[in-house]
Amino acid sequence: MVQSISTSVTDVPISKDAIPLHLSASSAARPGHRCIALTGFMGCGKSTVARLLAKQIGWIHADLDKRIVERAGLTVPEIFSRHGEASFRGIEQEELRRILGEAIEFSRPTIVSLGGGTIVQDKNVEALRQAGCPIIWLYCNVEELLRRCSHITNRPLFRDEAGFRELYAQRLPFYEQADYRVESSVEPLRVVQQIIELKILEGVPS
Q: In the complex, which residues of this chain contact ligand S3P (CB under 6 A)?
A: 42, 46, 65, 76, 115-117, 155-157
Task: State the nearest-atom distance from the C-beta of 181 to ligand S3P, in Å.
Answer: 16
The DSSP result for 71-139, as a single string, is HHTS-HHHHHHHH-HHHHHHHHHHHHHHHHHHHHHTT--EEEEPPTTGGGSHHHHHHHHHTT--EEEEE
Please state at what angle helix 85-105 crosses helix 64-72, rounded to 10 degrees.
Answer: 110
Which letter, b or e, does each residue of 10-33 get, where b requires 16 or more Cβ atoms within 10 Å of its Cβ? eebebeeeeeebbbbebbbeeeeb
Nearer to ligand S3P, 109 or 115 (CB): 115
Task: State the nearest-atom distance from the C-beta of 142 to ligand S3P, in Å.
Answer: 13
Task: State the nearest-atom distance from the C-beta of 115 to ligand S3P, in Å.
Answer: 3
Nearer to ligand S3P, 6 or 62 (CB): 62
Element housing 25 (H / E): helix 25-28
Nearer to ligand S3P, 65 or 179 (CB): 65
Task: State the nearest-atom distance from the C-beta of 167 to ligand S3P, in Å.
Answer: 7
Residue 127 CB neighbour total at 10 angstroms: 19
Task: State the nearest-atom distance from the C-beta of 106 to ligand S3P, in Å.
Answer: 25
Nearer to ligand S3P, 6 or 96 (CB): 96
